[in-house]
Structure 1
């Protein structure tokens, strides 16, 4: 029997539980390309109706557009029927006269600008604004977002403000979300963190988080939500010009991704299915959040997530040098390498 992650799983000791497969809502903010409103609503509805009831968003995504669209999709749904996370650290403001929006990868965005604010009042005001855009009274999880260059403010005011909100039961679980696993490892070691969202550093193509973040999380009892399982697209479709880490993939990584796909094909397993499953070899991983450009991709991700992957595939990837031999594998035998 092949290993299939089962949910829901608790985030740290917070009492917040999430299904193993969640929906990343950056595409709702028009990431790289505009998404029609009707399609955005269908994405969320399909995820919720299909069991992917963990929804992750942020003010950064489309300058609030993702949160607004998600809020419209959640209207009328019982709060307890889904788990919702958003992020703080950047506040949004209206554009000044003559100022142009900086989409930072998002297109057709509202006339707003981002401003860093990790003060206590800024954290509280940022969360309140998110709740208004989402049309909800509370969210389950709040992450400090992309704060790797603001660590002094994180330690002095940002994280204490989040911890205060948790203590007051305004939010149930708190943590950090970013691409830098080494910074996440430091923060988990130093602070009382329930969960981290680590994007792109624990995938079929990259083991960085296994070497720095995951050991600390396992020791501290901190859960990991994995984002970027496809490394910006390379592991979804390894073709020339594919993105890796938000830029065009280097030739060496493209070659390796194509080799991974070839071996997966020998076992009748789509590369995307293997990419979705791989992170769950580590016991600290609670969930993966995956974006979708339409409802058909939501259904496809769910189908791929449940794909039967034989243990022999993982061992073949190790034997052919495409995965390091010390990595934990998502096999039916839970024993980890020593």
Structure 2
């Protein structure tokens, strides 16, 4: 499917059959406190409890296992990542019995580097730019004949991430909306594809860190970002990719609400901290960003039952986000 022109519900269902033995069916958690704070019913899909600590295990497993199905003699896989996708691809390669190389930018935290190595992958460092990541990854692929596992811009990856929505709509069938963090757009593309066919009246709403500016591009129907693309500075280190993918962006234009919810570092730090305190779940700032959006006045009042995808729980416990954000207090949620 990696070369096909689009992804559909059937692809997502096939992905689920392919990966279900290797990933968790994550629980949906509710909180009276957060319901009262938001004035609506919130249903948190706990992908922070997923294998490797984030939703990325779904897409990586589907992509790697699909590669092996198509080419049983493949020598291995290579990817580029600063964290969650690298861990997920290393895990998926181990499941498939393949060698794995992960290209990471210099300055990647040792906690993340160690986690990637713990799944058996080899690390190669590159310069901290999108171009260097792509070029280094391509060079490794050319030299070793390894297959590239793209973090988001691959239909197999997108289909794997879409399995989140299959589970969530079984667990809570009558949602009015689902809030999803957006970086390269793989997760929200997969979720929106499934939701569009299973519950078209449910709105899929993108949540972005301040500085991404996805909304104007969605409304224009074309990618308005700088070229070459750059990384943005945000506490949500899972969402630093400014430009959505060539494959993902058209899906967003077609299936995702044109109004994007934007969250500042202070808001996401405060929400992350409050979620730890009140829900007793360790989430990373990218997930805290979506919690902050669910509690904000940006969300239309008529949306009463809202799914909130907690995308991951990987973070450096020596660098807690509310300390990095200048000790953002809970009142910063806004």
State TM-score, norm by structure 1. 0.31
TM-score (norm 2): 0.32
Q: Which structure would you say has the larger Rg?
A: 1
Flag the structure with higher helix content. Answer: 2
